[in-house]
Amino acid sequence: MATLEENKRVWDGKYKWPQGGDEWSAAWGGARMQWYGTLLPRIHDFVPADSILEIACGYGRWTQFLKDLCKELTVVDLSASCVKACKERFADETHIKYFVNNGKSLDMIPDESMDFIFSFDSLVHAEAPILKGYVTQLKRILKPTGIAFIHHSNLGEYPIYSRITPFSKTHKILAKLGVMEENIHWREGGVTAADVAAHADANGLRCISQEIVNWGTKKALIDCFSVIVRQDSPHCHDTEVIRNPRMMEEADTLLKLSKLYEPNTAR
């Protein structure tokens, strides 16, 4: 739904980052609850790791946790303002490297250098060629035993969203009828979980697992978490896919728990 140029314009100036990106975790009760309640349970077997790469770091919402799980952390973003914010936020950390890229290249990352590659709540906005370009590069930069956890769009599974203009009169009518979701959260309509898995296979990689989830939606499973390894990895096996329509129930539960167990967190 968004071009590379639109992503750069939005994240490198138009969007003001009022809570440093943590505002995007409000439905979970904050970034800490989302990390410990949703993310860490899914990636705990992959960390700690000697070297971690975070693609599209934003203002460091997940960097703040990843930095304590590795000896070397590399963060990359197309937004110079985001990278600048991370440098300032983590100025005391000497083991973090920062790069501004062109929104598609990981050429600055050495071959076979990464144990764990992470991207969450960012590449969901990437056009299919951009996402596939990032996936292709994983083969080169992952260590033979390395693992990538990539959060991306699955909106392409629902072609109606590519045919109907978002927030148009037709869209609003169909949303009221329950045919379409009211908000698809700027997801890319040209990406599906199946396409990502097939692209990985064609480039010496394997999606060993895919969790297809709803994201601020009632029925449509518009997002996917793909775990990707090299085909010569000891972790490589046939793809396992689950469809999880209860992601937002998970968020609701964590939001309620945050009020009990994080009473001093600003809301």
Structure confidence by residue, pLDDT tens digits, 124-154: 999 999 999 999 999 999 999 999 999 999 9
Which candidate, 180, 179, 236, places its Cα nearest to that of 207? Answer: 236
Share of the chain above pLDDT 70, in %: 98
Instruction: Tell me what pLDDT residue 265 has.
Output: 63
Cα separations (Å) of 172 from 125, 183, 215, 240? 22, 10, 19, 36
For residue 262, the tally of other CB atoms under 10 A from its CB is: 14
Q: Flag whether pLDDT at 266 surpasses 60.
A: no
Side chain identity at residue 139, one-letter code: K
Instruction: Tell me what pLDDT residue 22 has.
Output: 94
Which H/E stretch holds residue 70?
strand 70-77
Q: Is 192 exposed, middle or buried (0-12, 13-18, 19+ CB in 10 A)?
A: buried
**Of the CATH numbers 3.20.20.70, 3.90.650.10, 3.40.50.150, 3.30.70.1050, which one belongs to the domain with range 4-261?**
3.40.50.150
Which candidate, 179, 159, 165, 157, places its Cα nearest to that of 224? Answer: 157
Structure confidence by residue, pLDDT tens digits, 24-64: 999 999 999 999 999 999 999 999 999 999 999 999 999 99
In the chain, the N- to C-terminal Cα span, in Å, equals 31
Q: Flag whether pLDDT at 158 surpasses 90.
A: yes
- Banded model confidence at residue 165, pLDDT cuts 50, 70, 90: confident
Average of per-residue pLDDT values in the chain:
96
Instruction: Tell me what pLDDT residue 13 has.
Output: 86
Question: Domain residues of the chain, as ranges?
Answer: 4-261
Calculate ∠ Cα 147-87-223, nearest 5°: 40
Strand blocks (E) in 154-216: 205-213
